Structure 1
Amino acid sequence: MKSTYLIFLSIVMSWNIGFGQSNPKSLDGYKYAYVQKLEYKNGRTDIYGLSYSTERFLKNSGFYILGNNNNSWPKEAQLNPCLILNVLVNNSDGSKVFMEIRNCKGDLVYTDKSTAANWVNDFQDNYNRSLKNIFKGFGNYQLSYNASKTPKIEYPEVEKLEETEESLKTYYTTNTIDEIEGIYKSYQSDQFGYYMIGIKKYKNEYKAIIIESDFKHWKPGDVKAVFEPSSMKGFYSTTWFMGNKTPFETFALMENPALLSVEFKDAQTGDKRTDKFIKMYPSADVSSATTIDGIKATGSGFVISTDGVIATNAHVIENADRIEIHLNTEFGTKTYTASILLKDESNDVALLKIDDDEFKGFNSLPYSILQTTDIGEDVFTIGYPLNSLMGDNYKVTDGIVSSNSGLKDDVRFIQITTPIQPGNSGGPLFNKDGNIVGLTTSKLNERAVGTSVENVNYAIKATYLINIYNMLPQKEELSANTSLSDKDLKDQVKVLKNYVCLIKIY
């Protein structure tokens, strides 16, 4: 009797049942997996680690695991949701686990469920063993991507016009056009991809026509939006066709002759956001474009001495008759006059000096200036890009060091993925510790190289800044402060923004 009891006890204490498994080879049409975080009625998430374990299993099977913030996803995944598997793992009754994997159309491509229980009814152990049973159903599966198995989305039809970039330019140059008409490029953000559109008047409305796009399902000639004028000049009731070609009713505003803004709702948060389109053609008249309020140019710079020496690029201050420095303070933005101390045009570095009686100096500077960088290290910049379009508030972008040389292996430069725009010139390039390693200078011009390029930007090495600073006859020692090294990026920015300036050239 004793041996019979022990056999019975072992059966009751641990039993497993598996149900209807699909063929894992059906997953070969996908590259990415998004595992939904399991949420419970009490507000807690993934109590038993089922979502986490599933992510690890799929990663080991060859899938790229996507996080909750789709703005950080690889661009390929953002542009083609049909490469993504949506994975849901759930549990119930103290022992059952269910897995469903669906594609971009909501079709079920893989499903399985399992039950496991033990004598003491340990839910954690039950659920983990049930999930392992599901994993066993995959066998030795490893992803072998097959593009022919990737599903295709059938998008709604949108109006198509027989227009090209050339035909639109001919129209603009041979007709008297309205302010909104012209060729625009989207100002790319994490939430918005790249579009080049041409806006043309048709009877009593204006249509935005696709010229180029990152999205393959948007073809040249497709109508992206329709603008209907309102009673207010420059304000338009707008039907915008979203990335999936469904209509979205919103409004658009010509903020100035070169900038069109369109209001959208963020799909993740529900918050409103405004996306910008910059008019590229017809180009503005040079005199009007370069003399807004008498301003010839703007750029960025940063403080390198407590008595007000400012570093920037030499090209920022070219042809300057008067220079203004705009600095953040605890009392708001302060504006000071400045003069040129030294220029090194061959290395594109310049030193300015605040010579305004209102300027009282700094007690200290929170960073050092370093002459070395490592490929792959994190870097970021603070600056004032496209000041006339994007406003006077500072902007922060980050990236990594791609190379310790520039175009054609020019050793004066660092190549970075940190996005920069016109107006970032002369701004500081910081390392992860908040110390300066260079001056943001330029980006690779697509037209010059004749091909599309992404994230190829350059900064002049801090060595050349130190060299010109050492040429000053009277100077203080450069700061050796490293007090920001233990802070995270957002806390570093709160301090550093007060030492980065907007430079306006008159």
Structure 2
Amino acid sequence: MKNKCTHIIILLLLTLLSTPVQGKFKVADYNKDKAKEIIDTRVKRGILEIVEGIWESSNGKIYAIERFEDERFPENIRYRVIQLEGKNSDPGMVDYFLEMTNYDEYYRIWGNNPFSLTNEPVGRECYISFTQDSFSFKQQIQTITFTRKYPQINYQENSGIISLGSGFAITPNGYIVTNHHVIANAQNIVVTGVNGSFEQGYNARLVVTDPKNDLAIIKIEDSVFTTFGEIPYNIRNNDPIEGEYCFAIGYPAANVLGVNPKTTAGIISATTDSKFPAYCQMSVAIESGSSGSPLFDSNGNVLAVNVAKYNDYFPNLAVKTSYLMRLIGQCDELKDLSMTPATPGRQLPEIVATNKGFVVLIFINYNPFGEQKPFYVLDEVEKKDDPMSNAEKLYSAKRYREAISALTDILMNDPQNSDAYYLRGCSWASLVLHDNAIIDYNQALHYFDSKKENIYPIGSIYRNKAVSQMFNQDYEEALKNLELALKDTPDDGYNDVLNGVLNYHVKRYENAIKIFSEITHYTDLQDIIYYYRGLCYFAIGETPKARADMQCAARFGSKDASDWLQQYP
């Protein structure tokens, strides 16, 4: 009965919000160019959701589906389906609204009836099945299919795919706590959900990190950011108590369940963990995307920092605030941190309503090995006056075969272009055609002229050639080329890690252990460093050290290390 009443209220609200003409709602000055501008901005901020874009419907019309913010609408109704082109279309007219539910790929449709010629506002629960390029609304025997027109999605492995995590504000001016593994390998950090708004993404930088205890602090540094406002909670200075009530607010599976924060509750089930003393265990449900979210006590103060269950090895864990306060104490930027405790005696709904605007969604660009994620291809790669610039854009957009074609054209006119050979080699390598890549890297080295201004340094050519040789299991030759790369760029973390990995493959275990032990400070590569050092220890029979390293690697997100721990408990 309650849900029915809620739906009636929403229907009345939508009817009242519509323009007087046949109960419809129209977006002023809206067209295809405006829709693309909005989409491009959200892609660049890393906040575009899979349902958003320009779609062609089986009813013959072109629509834009976009997320919007309007305080007059209920919180979950945040997508509108807007006419753009087609027979009898009225650009800017909203045909209906989509409500994101808490179930995987399950939406509720509000607004004008998409299955009839009437304009009556209706609420329909329709299952949405996604593919890369289309989705359908289904109800009984009626179906409307939408085919993606823009932006196109490239699911090739790429070096700029997006990872999600959570965090929470500790100062009004943008300092945010999260997990180290959330920001590890970050090329850039974008924060959204500030004060409950997801229309704006803010650039952020890393301030300080504690890899051992999986903590990090970042800060929003963006010209359009103003303030969080007064922080409504404190960081508790005493450890959790076994059996204590607690709850988490975070963003589990935000790419599927939507970007509204989710609240789950439970108790502290253990105050220590035998493997990691910085952690407590709890019964609060957390999943991928919840990493870095706050665990609150019954008054709404921060009790711990959640570490999401991001592989099969861990139970639900959270880092105690005593370790967070230790990290804050080491940060000069936060030496004057002062927070006010939450007001006691409130009910959970009031606490959640107060605190959730300070829990943020964090987007990270990084390069996980072997993982496939959508990469949105915008209309920014066009033919330019500079062919090399166009080829670089094609490569950056993961359009490797197009890049190879463009670079081949360049080499037809300039057969001694070292940069073109190198980039074509990188494109072959991205397609896992390493023999072709090595040929082009050799040509790039042959025509490299240190007296000229080259786009790519010779050290990069040697390193990438070594990587392709490693994939071809030609480890000794790879080591020779890596040695030349190290001479050109001696303080490069990726070169050092590759050196250790190659020494492992040629069974120089002691040498590899020494190399890895000297580079554990490279925080964005620790999953690889500890995993391979663990393999080296295991190869020479030092199993306890191997297990300790594998546990560290698993903490930093290495699934291979988690699998090893399952195989050798």
* TM-score normalised by the chain length of structure 2: 0.37
Higher helix share: 2
Specify the structure having the higher radius of gyration (Cα).
Answer: 1
* TM-score normalised by the chain length of structure 1: 0.41
